[in-house]
């Protein structure tokens, strides 16, 4: 009876150690690595553009609807999601 319980415990513990913990460590390391790489990539991107001048040409009525729809936040979220999907897609372990 005890042998059966010990065998079941060893099997469950082995599964936990082999599958779940290893995957957690690997994906955590990949996420931290990607966050560090993206921080370096952002530093290489240009900081000065003429977008401000282009947005100053918009009339006040257009700005009202842009702010009402939270367009700046939406663009930021969509761009971040697309960039993250692209980076994760390039990894051979996670790729789609």
**60 and 26, same structural domain?**
no
- pTM of the full predicted structure? 0.44
pLDDT band at residue 26 under the 50/70/90 scheme: confident
**96 and 80, same structural domain?**
yes
Q: Residue 56 and residue 3: Cα distance in Å, rounded?
A: 77
Q: Domain count of the chain? A: 2
**64 and 38, same structural domain?**
no
Q: Residue 48 and residue 62: Cα distance in Å, rounded?
A: 24
Q: What is the pLDDT of residue 78?
A: 92
Higher pLDDT, 53 or 15: 53
**95 and 60, same structural domain?**
yes
Query: What is the dihedral sign for C-alpha 20, 26, 28, 34?
Result: negative
Higher pLDDT, 33 or 96: 33
State which residues form the domain around 5.
1-45
- The last residue of one of the domains, among 14, 29, 45, is 45
Q: What is the pLDDT of residue 62?
A: 92
Higher pLDDT, 2 or 69: 69
Contacts of 54 (CB under 8 A, 6+ apart): none
Q: What are the tens digits of pLDDT across the range 27-84?
A: 889 889 988 988 888 888 877 778 778 888 999 999 899 889 998 899 999 998 998 8
Q: Residue 26 and residue 96: Cα distance in Å, rounded?
A: 17
How far is CA 73 from each of CA 67, 81, 87, 96, rounded to the nearest angstrom? 9, 12, 21, 27
């Amino acid at each position: 009876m005890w042998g059966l319980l010990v065998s079941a415990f060893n099997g469950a513990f082995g599964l936990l150690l082999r599958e779940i913990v290893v995957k957690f460590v690997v994906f955590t390391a990949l996420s931290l690595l990607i966050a560090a790489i993206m921080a370096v990539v952002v530093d290489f991107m240009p900081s000065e553009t003429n977008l401000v001048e282009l947005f100053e040409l918009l009339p006040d009525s257009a700005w009202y609807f842009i702010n009402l729809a939270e367009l700046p936040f939406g663009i930021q979220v969509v761009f971040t999601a697309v960039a993250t999907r692209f980076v994760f897609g390039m990894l051979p372990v996670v790729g789609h």
